[in-house]
Amino acid sequence: MDDQKNMIWSMNTEARIPRDLLLAIGGWEKRGPTNVAEVLNINTNKWQRAKTFEDNRQIAYHECIVINNKLYVIGGFEETQYFNTARCYDSETKEWCELAPMNYARCYISACEINGTIIVAGGSDGRSRLRTAEMYDINK
* Amino acid 76: pLDDT: 95
SS3 of 12-58:
CCCCCECCCEEEEECCEECCEEECCEEEEECCCCEEEECCCCCCCCC
Q: pTM above 0.85?
A: no
> Is residue 6 one of the residues assigned to a domain?
no
pLDDT above 90 (res 24): no
Could you tell me the residue range of the domain that residue 23 belongs to? 17-137
51 CB contacts (<8 Å, ≥6 apart)? 37, 94, 95, 96
> Is residue 106 one of the residues assigned to a domain?
yes
CATH number where 24 lies: 2.120.10.80
> Is residue 84 one of the residues assigned to a domain?
yes
Instruction: Write phi, then psi, for 13 (nearest 5 degrees).
Output: -145, 160
